[in-house]
Amino acid sequence: MRLVTESIVNEKELWEEKGFIMPGYDTVKLHENTKAAPAWIHFGCGNIFRGYIACLADELIKSGEMEGGIIAADSFDTETIEKIYVPFDDLVLLVGLRAQGDKYLRVIGSIGGAVCAKGDGVAKLKEYAVKDSLQMISFTITEKGYAVRDMNGGVFPFVAEDIAKGPEGELNSAMSIITAMLLERYKANAAPIAMVSMDNCSQNGSKLRESVMFIAEKWHENGFVDDGFMAYIGDESKVSFPWSMIDKITPRPDMSVCEELTNMGIEDMQPVKTNRGTFIAPFVNAEMPQYLVIEDNFPNGRPPLEKAGVYMTDRETVDRAEKMKVMTCLNPLHTALAVFGCLLGKTKISEEMNDADLKELVYRLGYKEGLPVVIDPGIIRPEDFLDEVLTQRLPNPYLPDTPQRIATDTSQKLAIRFGETIKAYEKKGGTDSLVLIPMVIAAWIRYLTGFNDEGAPMELSDDPMMDELKAIVKSEWFKNKEPMDKSAVEKLLKNEKLFGTDLVKAGLADKITADLEAMLSGEGMVRKILHEKLA
């Protein structure tokens, strides 16, 4: 058995005997329909797309609600398409990992084509972009995929190149490519379209819009685009940027899952690591709980996503759902477990939930410091969501999620995951009652020294700001017990772009530096401080 069209057609009964839910439609015909009348393009070919968004489309195609599939595009890591999409006929094998130990097995056939957004691939995407049938372009490119400026406000060099080259040049960034696609659509017919960020970041639609408008404005200044184009993309009745909230944990492919699939007789399931550092496999292992809330603003129509379990609502409700998750009920807990897990030598999130201190940390972080300022979205009860996170999702021993994965790009996450809560406390009367949030921030700075709590060197997860951060936080503070540079730390804590607020003005600098100094003072001190704060 192989995950290819020939096998799922000719050996369909064998797949079903193994427990797989099959597409139930002609995937070859689907590819033809998708390319003839594309309705949905998606940027970002990773696991959250394959294991969740593509599955939603699969449901709608099976029920006759969609005739075509999704065109997948990737500008960051085109190797994923070359190694995981093309050899497997764009099929995905989903393995849902239930907390009880049994698995949900499904072959997803809804991806109707995959395009590397480089060279000829960009030309192909521009062809699709002018089609009247196109209703939306969606994104899961991570928060850094929208960034056009660095921490200091300077334009990234690769973005500056795109601005100088103009829309006809060989473009580097996803933001430039999609702006060029919108330009083609404007020139062809100025048909309406929805640009839907489905990334795990607050007010994601605004982030996407700001970046697109930035590129467009610079091209306008350089004479590459006209006033009409600026009016077109500035008119939300023509080009909308709805907000969304997404939640489903889709960790790196796990070797135990790979071995189980291989033992079932499915060939070529081995994961790969691309040159860009992406861990990906023909299968996606994922948790079962999932949430997607989208602002219902689609000027050219949309698939009936609500029939696949998506909450379609207004912007305010999306914002509230996102804030509930990102600021309180999941993401801060994840970051706390990521930072402390790396420092304490943990390799699985579920393992951390068996550690009394770490379990108590996330329970208190959620219930004591988060819920008092939680925002209730109305459609999901925050207490129920938090209960599910703490009692079912984080402790799931069959979900191979790691603190090292979650620690990736932490600098891009702190402002939302902790900064917004800190600001809410400031508005309520002050941050005096906060103990755990400042300790987590101190632990993150301690993490940046590159040594775990036992004093052994540890590999730091990828982060776009790592070079800037390592220039401030010195490994010698721990390794050689050199005095911590308090002025450098204070300057870091004042960085509103990094933390979402000035932590010195917020009254947290003393707590953070005291915890940090203690954690730097010797081996075992991270554990000691953690335990003491929870006593």
Domains of the chain and any CATH numbers? 5-313 (3.40.50.720), 316-534 (1.10.1040.10)
Residue 430, phi-psi category: left (phi > 0), alpha (psi -120 to 50), beta (remainder): left
What's the pLDDT tens digit per position in 10-39?
Answer: 999 999 999 999 999 999 999 999 999 999
Residues 6+ apart with CB under 8 A from 251: 47, 285, 286, 399, 400, 401, 402, 405
Q: Alpha helix (H) ranges present in 448-524? A: 466-472, 476-479, 486-493, 496-499, 509-520
Task: Determine the pLDDT at residue 200.
Answer: 86
**Integer angstrom CA distances of residue 160 from 66, 142, 407:** 39, 20, 29
DSSP codes, 37-76: S--EEEE--SHHIIIIIHHHHHHHHHTTS-SS-EEEEESS
**Would you place residue 235 in the very low, low, confident or very high pLDDT band (cuts 50, 70, 90)?**
very high
> Count of residues for the chain?
535
**Would you place residue 143 in the very low, low, confident or very high pLDDT band (cuts 50, 70, 90)?**
confident
Residues 6+ apart with CB under 8 A from 490: 504, 509, 513
Residues 6+ apart with CB under 8 A from 5: 27, 28, 89, 91
Residue scoring higher pLDDT (184 or 119): 184
Looking at 230-271, which runs of residues are DSSP E strands?
239-240, 244-247
Task: Determine the pLDDT at residue 386.
Answer: 97
pLDDT at 311 over 80: yes
Task: Determine the pLDDT at residue 326.
Answer: 87
**Would you place residue 222 in the very low, low, confident or very high pLDDT band (cuts 50, 70, 90)?**
very high
CB 126 within 8 A of CB 180: yes
**For residues 451-467, average pLDDT:** 96
pTM of the model: 0.84
Instruction: Provide the β-strand partners of residue 92.
Output: 108
Judged by average pLDDT, the poorest of 265-279, 291-305, 339-353 is 265-279
**Residue 181, burial from CB neighbour count under 10 angstroms (0-12, 13-18, 19+):** buried
Helix (H) or strand (E) segment spanning residue 123: helix 120-129
**For residues 189-212, average pLDDT:** 95
CB 235 within 8 A of CB 169: no
**Would you place residue 196 in the very low, low, confident or very high pLDDT band (cuts 50, 70, 90)?**
very high
pLDDT at 151 over 80: no
Task: Determine the pLDDT at residue 153.
Answer: 87
CB 114 within 8 A of CB 314: no
Q: Hunting for tokens 């304490």 — which residue is that?
A: 344
CB 139 within 8 A of CB 197: yes
Residue 243: alpha-carbon gap to chain centroid? 14
Task: Determine the pLDDT at residue 277.
Answer: 83
Instruction: Provide the β-strand partners of residue 284.
Output: 94
Task: Determine the pLDDT at residue 78.
Answer: 87
* Three-point CA angle 331, 104, 329, nearest 5°: 15
Q: Report the C-alpha gap between 159 and 165 in whole angstroms.
A: 10
What's the pLDDT tens digit per position in 245-294?
Answer: 999 999 889 999 999 999 999 999 999 999 888 889 999 999 999 999 99
Instruction: Provide the β-strand partners of residue 196.
Output: 138
What's the pLDDT tens digit per position in 57-103?
Answer: 999 999 999 999 999 999 988 899 999 999 999 999 999 999 888 99
Task: Determine the pLDDT at residue 37.
Answer: 97
Which is it for the CA torsion 365, 366, 367, 369, positive or negative? positive
Per-residue b/e over 487-516, b at no fewer than 16 CB within 10 Å? eebeebbbbeebbbbebbebbbbebbbebb
> What is the identity of the amino acid at 16?
E
Which is it for the CA torsion 283, 286, 291, 295, positive or negative? negative
Helix (H) or strand (E) segment spanning residue 312: strand 311-313
CB 379 within 8 A of CB 296: no
